[in-house]
Amino acid sequence: ASEMNYGEEMGYEITGIEAGAGVVSSAEAAVEEYENLSGWEVSTSSSGAMATALGEAVENEEPIVVTGWTPHWKFAKYDLKYLEDPKEVFGGEEQIKTMVRQGLKDEKPNAYKILDQFNWEASDMEEVMLEVSDGASPEEAAQNWISNNQDKVDAWTEGTEEVDGTEVELVLVNWDSEIASTNVVAEVMKEQGFEVTITPLDNGPMWESVAAGEADGMVAAWLPGTHGDQYEQNKDKLEDLGANLEGAKIGLVVPEYMDVDSIEDLEA
Ligand code: PBE
């Protein structure tokens, strides 16, 4: 049991992000499943508001529990830890996958091939995220990463031909991780001659727009757990291009200075 009554200090609140995020649904499930969390609530706002609240709490050494995920720059900026999840509500290791609309392969084969070949490491994504969190624009951070990683980019464009202004629409949710990946893919495609639009949506609409063929694709599918429901609902209308990143994870995250290691100990 923790020595301090963190629950009371935090107003029995888990600081969430966008209402449609998988990690928010999982946090709500955790509140249901862990008896010690009865009476707690998951607040929703935005990833940016969560990051601000986390930064302020750390500055004042106050307790906070956030809905967290990896890859994310917050682990490089602050000393944080995932709370153990003995009931496995948040699932295990995840992949981030690329989904495209049906028909893309025939209509825009070069765009399809780049999206299919896009694949990087958690450390790559973190590099871009950190630069954005330090104030760079997503395009600028993406271009910097591209110029330092030309070998990887060459593998993504291998076997493709340059195009002359073919339009591509990518969709994302404005999560820091997806801002990084989507902008890197978009900048690579622009260098190949595509005209790329990035449209931010909520999570459900992001999946539905690709399934409906309104958008060409997305690189933001967290599976098998985080977006499992969205995948089940839309999988018959999508083409799954496989993982673009391995070793992703979601969970409840707290600062290291908090004297608690498990979700079960939050309000013991
Ligand atoms: N995330 C980032 C998303 C997926 C990517 C973990 C905040 C979510 O929870 O749906």
- Residue 231 CB less than 6 A away from ligand 1: no
Number of H helices, E strands in the chain: 12, 9
Expressed in angstroms and rounded, the spacing between residue 23 Cα and the centre of ligand 1 is 6
Expressed in angstroms and rounded, the spacing between residue 143 Cα and the centre of ligand 1 is 24
- Helix crossing, 150-157 with 109-117: angle to 10°? 140
Radius of gyration of the chain (CA): 19
CB under 8 Å to 76, separation ≥6 — which residues? 126, 130
- Spell out the alpha helix ranges (H) of the chain: 6-9, 22-33, 47-59, 74-77, 104-107, 109-117, 122-133, 138-148, 150-157, 176-191, 203-211, 228-234
Full-model pTM: 0.96
What is the structure's pLDDT at 268?
A: 55
- Tokens 């449609």 locate to 20
Residue of 222, 249, 253 to test ligand 1 pocket, by largest number of atoms within 8 Å of CB = 222
Q: What residue ranges define each of the domains in the chain, with the CATH number in brackets? A: 6-92+250-265 (3.40.190.100), 94-248 (3.10.105.10)
What is the structure's pLDDT at 3?
A: 52
Residue of 42, 219, 226 to test ligand 1 pocket, by largest number of atoms within 8 Å of CB = 226
- Tokens 């893309």 locate to 104
What is the structure's pLDDT at 2?
A: 46
User: Which amino acid residue places its CA nearest to atom 2 of ligand 1?
Assistant: 175
Q: Alpha-carbon distance 57 to 52, whole Å?
A: 9
Q: Which residues of the chain have pLDDT under 50?
A: 1-2
pLDDT tens digit string along 25-58?
999 999 999 999 999 999 999 999 999 999 999 9
ipTM: 0.97
What is the structure's pLDDT at 241?
A: 98
